[in-house]
Structure 1
Amino acid sequence: MEKSFSIPISRRAFMKLVGMGTVGMLAETAMPSGKAAAAPAGVNGEGLPTLLTADVCVVGGGAAGTAAAISAARAGVKVVLVERGISLGGLATQGCVFPCMPTYAFDSDTPYIKELNKRIEMKTGFSPVPNLPETDTHYGEGMGAYTPELLTEVYDEWCEKTGVTVLYDAALVGATVEDGTITACVVQTVEGLGKIQAKTFIDATGDALLSRFAGVPTEKGSETNGRNQPMSLRFEMGGIDVTKVYHFFHDKLKDTWLEENWSKKFKEDVKKGRDPFWEFAKWKKTESFFREGVKKGELTEDDVLYIQAFSVQGKPHTMSMNCPEMPPLMFSATDAVSRSKAVSFGRKMMRRLAVYFKGNIPGFEKAYISREASMVGVRESWRIRGKYYMEADDYLQARHFPDAVCRSAYPIDIHDVKLDLFEKLKKGQYYEIPYRALVTNELSNLLVSGRCASGSFAAQASFRIQPTCMSMGEAAGIAAAWGLSRNIPVNEVKWEDIPAEKRSYVSQ
């Protein structure tokens, strides 16, 4: 499981000095002034050639965007999906994010997620959802272990089958807005600048870039200090004896967390002759092992703040590193130069960790870096101010909404502070995300899904996980098609008025 680990006293003390905040400061997550972040200067599209036209244009092919595009196309509308990379899946594929974090809420998997899991199981013969022990009931649904290359294949086939036109290698650089509607988005391609015209647009960029080009009010970073959540640069290592690594952590380092939570699944996998779905991390019992690397000068203090790795289903002798995590005091996800420097810094961290693992962890003797992320792991950057603004209290009070598009109980997971600043929901509790958090007052034909939906810094720290983003994207695609079929602007669509059988989620 992804966790935020305790940080050294010196850094914690410094964070307090710069206003990291207490429970009250963060839980309020208020910006009385409603001050919006400055919009970037973009290209307005005048005089540019039209590359494609569609009913719905989705910008961003990550967890939310792919779900939105497929869901809209299945509802019978013409869809163009714009992706700046050359594979769909976003952080799950380009960013080596493996696996998805769970929602901790039962019955949270919307139809899109269930079908995605079935499609992967049909290809591999095993479910991407870990077979947890029967006594392990606190994860809920939403947890999936998606092998990046396989996920890319499934997304390509799914888009082709539903008729989604994917425009790869196209970076969004602007938008044309007329009378409160977006008429086109402008992209940079190998041909140069061009525009895509559509009736409805879905911003799934993660950075709210289309929204900002179109003039939607946005926020970024923590309300208390302006800092974004830390970024990661993940990688994979091959040539690993995973079973040997397991026994080192379990038998020598006495990491009983693994035995309590995963041993049944581990034994089943070993019996079937495949690498177990398993993880090691810098827990309290193993922290001294990694800190020994700092004492020897092989690792830095920053390297050991966050260490975690997962074995990868379908990729024998491979582990996916959920690290390194670049220090948030040094780098910002919303500063272009800083974000670039973070990549270089993270790559140095990555190589130090790989060398340390290879030289100090039994089972890594023949290991090597087999893959580096081609996308920096941004947890939070810009967020829109939509018709409804999610607050920490929506989570803490487990609020439900008549226009809810999904549910979650994933904690307010701020990697810059200790997790115990916020009380976790009780077993069986969950909160919901309303459709109104996906639409704006300013633009009639824009939906926003994924981690840049409308909410505070603390609220976003809960709804940013992949399954929740998928469900938001699924709802956005359904609503976009519904609005077009009824000639209703998407920011006037009432999710609860869509027939229950056509909705991906119905609040209970």
Structure 2
Amino acid sequence: MTALPELTTEHTVTVPPRELPVTTTADVVVAGGGPAGFCAAVAAARAGARTVLVERGPFLGGTATGAMVASFMGFYWRTTLVGGGIGHEITRRLVDAGGASGFTPYVLAEASENPLRVRTFPFDPEVLKLVLDDLAAEAGLDVRLHSQAVDPVVSEGSVRGLVVQGRYAPEAIGAGVVVDATADAVVCRRAGCAVENPQGRHERQPMTMMARLSDVDIYRFRALPREEKRRLARLGVAAGELAQQLLSLVSSPSGHDAFILMTRVSGLDGSDSEELTRAEIAGREQVRRVLSFLRREVPGFENAHLSAIAPWIGVRETWRVVGDHLLTESDVLSGRQFPDAVAQAGGPLDVHDNTNGLTLVEPPAPFSVPYRSLLPRGVEGLLVAGRCLSATQAAMGAVRHMGTAMATGQAAGVAAALATQLGVPPRAVPADRLQALLREQGAIVDSPAQPRLPRTA
């Protein structure tokens, strides 16, 4: 018997081309079932489009459920509501389902050197899974879980569908418009879109592995003075058990569980499978060290035990698309309002780096996201939403909050539906028509009024 040559990394292999069946056709296909993609799909369906939602995981919700980031930010600027529409409907349904109690004041990064007061919406990720299933069914979505968006179907220079890898075989889904809400801009990059990532891949914002601890005395911990929390955070860093000076947590609606946000995995690329594997393992090891420190040193955690580690690590930044408008830090920090605004946002500008830690800056006023930031430059038939939309690294730190991601997703979904109904590419959708339809769906697209409550509320 003749021995076959050993394959090495210097070799290439030939994969035979093959035709794929078009198993489904729709008006709109959305890639990614996280906060942005889910709202895009529901919005498109409510606007009358036959919509398919493709999600690689076994449930919807993305970062909110799979990464267990159990608190929505971005719905408020100070005390002014800037996020409405489907995202706000999700918060109301969570309250009705017993998975949340409502919006609450919160001190972001309280144990750090530059804390910031914000309004957040803590929730139970398990209840959110049920809420999203209900909303998807009511909207009539064709949901495809366990399905990875692989490639765009491109015909005559326009995206006309999506290649999806299921559990066994790939298939093609034909569509009038595709929305890329994959967070990693998978579809856009495969379509040849330019990306805004001037820095090296390993200079992206660090990742965080969340964990759920049970039997925590939340009230005792909350009652600790800020200076004591600062002391404990410094102690944890000095002991090598905390990766940064943060003692951040979100309490569950029951008040006895804590979702801890205290890990930090730096210098790895969250869009590379090999490096992401290393990040997942490193994140879980950090959870082990954090739990040991909390139980030993931090009041309220003496009897805490680990009840769950997030199914996957939270990734803040990978690829961002270059669109017809690149949202900048100046746009955010000037509270800029665009004539083609499709979403309002309140920040804060929240940028984690790999050396100095955390930068938090509150915009002086709500700012808007223009429709042009959802239009990948030079490609037709494709929209983008969520943290991979067209923005610089700093600006993305202000629009990646899940409340804002939901708003950009809803805008992309409505725009996709409108494009198919008008028979035009998304770039030709009139901004005023899009804004009017978004208002009908309850979205906030116009500059909100100034807050009427005191700043400390």
State if a TM-score over 0.5 links the two structures.
Answer: yes
How many residue pairs align between the two structures? 419
Q: Which amino acid aligns with 1:465?
A: H
Q: Which amino acid aligns with 1:479?
A: A
Deviation at 1:501, TM superposition (A): 5.2
CA separation of 1:424 and 1:448: change in aligned 2, threshold 3 A: same
Task: Tell me the residue number matched to 1:447.
Answer: 383
Deviation at 1:441, TM superposition (A): 3.2
SS in 2 for 1:115: helix
SS in 1 for 2:406: helix
Deviation at 1:189, TM superposition (A): 1.3
Once residues 280 and 358 of structure 2 are traced to their aligned partners in structure 1, the CA distance between those partners, rounded to angstroms, is 29
SS in 1 for 2:394: helix
Deviation at 1:221, TM superposition (A): 6.2
Once residues 507 and 442 of structure 1 are traced to their aligned partners in structure 2, the CA distance between those partners, rounded to angstroms, is 28
Q: How does 1:491-502 map onto structure 2 within 5 Å?
A: 491-498=427-434, 500=436, 502=438
Once residues 46 and 200 of structure 1 are traced to their aligned partners in structure 2, the CA distance between those partners, rounded to angstroms, is 24
SS in 1 for 2:388: coil
Matched, 1:149 2:149: no
Task: Tell me the residue number matched to 2:302.
Answer: 365
Deviation at 1:217, TM superposition (A): 0.9
**8 A Cα contact 2:237 2:245, kept in partner:** no
Task: Tell me the residue number matched to 1:47.
Answer: 19
- Match of residue 410, structure 1, among 322, 326, 347: 347
Task: Tell me the residue number matched to 2:274.
Answer: 337
Deviation at 1:125, TM superposition (A): 8.7
Q: Which amino acid aligns with 1:130?
A: T
- Match of residue 120, structure 1, among 83, 87, 94: 94
Task: Tell me the residue number matched to 1:232.
Answer: 208
Q: Which amino acid aligns with 2:191?
A: A
Matched, 1:77 2:13: no
Task: Tell me the residue number matched to 2:143.
Answer: 166
Q: Which amino acid aligns with 1:122?
A: D
TM-score of the two chains, using structure 2 as the length reference: 0.85
SS in 1 for 2:86: helix
Once residues 192 and 386 of structure 1 are traced to their aligned partners in structure 2, the CA distance between those partners, rounded to angstroms, is 32
**8 A Cα contact 2:82 2:346, kept in partner:** no
Deviation at 1:420, TM superposition (A): 8.9
Task: Tell me the residue number matched to 1:104.
Answer: 77
Once residues 229 and 50 of structure 2 are traced to their aligned partners in structure 1, the CA distance between those partners, rounded to angstroms, is 52
TM-score of the two chains, using structure 1 as the length reference: 0.76
Deviation at 1:368, TM superposition (A): 1.3
Q: Which amino acid aligns with 1:198?
A: A
Measured against aligned partners, the alpha-carbon deviations of 1:5-34 in whole angstroms (never above 9, x if no partner) come to xxxxxxxxxxxxxxxxxxxxxxxxxxxxxx
Q: Percent identity?
A: 31
- Match of residue 231, structure 2, among 288, 312, 329: 288
Once residues 176 and 297 of structure 2 are traced to their aligned partners in structure 1, the CA distance between those partners, rounded to angstroms, is 57
Matched, 1:476 2:402: no
Deviation at 1:343, TM superposition (A): 1.4
Compute the RMSD of aligned alpha carbons.
2.7
Task: Tell me the residue number matched to 1:241.
Answer: 217
**8 A Cα contact 1:235 1:323, kept in partner:** no
CA separation of 1:385 and 1:242: change in aligned 2, threshold 3 A: same
**8 A Cα contact 1:51 1:194, kept in partner:** yes
Task: Tell me the residue number matched to 1:311.
Answer: 251
Task: Tell me the residue number matched to 2:397.
Answer: 461
Deviation at 1:306, TM superposition (A): 3.5
**8 A Cα contact 2:329 2:395, kept in partner:** yes
SS in 2 for 1:491: helix
Task: Tell me the residue number matched to 1:269.
Answer: none
Which has the larger strand fraction?
2
**8 A Cα contact 2:216 2:303, kept in partner:** yes
**8 A Cα contact 1:444 1:492, kept in partner:** no
Deviation at 1:390, TM superposition (A): 0.8
Query: Tell me, which stretches of 5 or more residues in structure 2 are unaligned?
Result: 1-14, 108-115, 448-457
Task: Tell me the residue number matched to 1:12.
Answer: none
Does 52-61 or 181-190 show the bigger shift?
181-190
Once residues 419 and 395 of structure 1 are traced to their aligned partners in structure 2, the CA distance between those partners, rounded to angstroms, is 21
Task: Tell me the residue number matched to 1:425.
Answer: 363
**8 A Cα contact 2:374 2:385, kept in partner:** yes
